[in-house]
Amino acid sequence: MPKRIGKRDSRLWNKGDVSKIVPYTSRSLRLAEQIMKTLGVKESIIDAFKNGEILVTNSLRPTMIVQEGVTDRDKEIIDELDQNGLMVYHVLFSCIMLGKKPDIQSEFEVNTFEQVVPIKSYLYVPKDIFEEAIYIEPDLIDKRRELVIKEYIEHTIFMAKQGYLSAYTLNEETNVAMFDEIFISRVQGDLIRVE
């Protein structure tokens, strides 16, 4: 059973005291860092984020996964997301395969795909956790702010342990973008998107 974040856990709270919650920007930074630590991401990626640098994990080549800096286009998208209240902490560059067709002439299960599409997934956390929680579930407006924030953080960490992260996903070929929950896996400290 996954460890739940409670009052004794000081990772995201000020010494475990719910009444002394840290400012929302610092809270979002801590949440992003905690997500990466929970997933077992390489320390170099976490350290880069702490120093204000966002890295891209490029897994387009099947034999090699590399970290790269963001492009100018990535910076524009990250700035736009930031202006809309979302803090990007990492970018995944991978591909998805569309049009799966089973090959019935083979004795083993073999599939062919009509199209391989490069995808960039901008992993993010909200800068204002309370507002995001209320947006997702408006009934929470009557609950105490601290409790809503705490439950949102716990849920986000729980979902990260299951491999689900919030992402702004951009199809590099068609420039179609959407907000989505993506499924990820970890390979030797690198995150990769799984379809």
Q: Which pLDDT tens digit goes with each residue over 109-167?
A: 776 766 778 889 999 999 888 888 878 777 777 788 788 888 888 989 999 999 999 99
DSSP sequence for 16-31: T-TTSPPPHHHHHHHH
Q: Is residue 81 part of a domain?
A: yes
Sort 13 into a burial class: Cβ within 10 Å, 0-12 / 13-18 / 19+. buried
**Is there a domain that residue 143 lies in?**
yes
Predicted model pTM: 0.77
pLDDT for res 13: 44
- On whether residue 18 sits in a domain, the answer given is no
Q: How does DSSP classify residue 7?
A: T
**Is 4 inside a domain boundary?**
no
What mean pLDDT is reported for the chain? 79
- 21-41 tens-digit pLDDT: 444 567 888 899 999 999 888
Contact 12, 35 (CB under 8 A): no
Q: Does 13 reside within a domain?
A: no
Residue 72 belongs to some domain of the structure: yes
Q: Confirm whether 38 is domain-assigned.
A: yes
Q: Is residue 108 part of a domain?
A: yes
Tell me the CA distances in angstroms from 60 to 40, 66, 85, 96, 125, one per residue in order. 21, 9, 29, 10, 25
Residues spanned by the domain of 51? 24-194
Closest residue by Cα to residue 117 from 133, 98, 99: 98
**Domain count for the chain:** 1
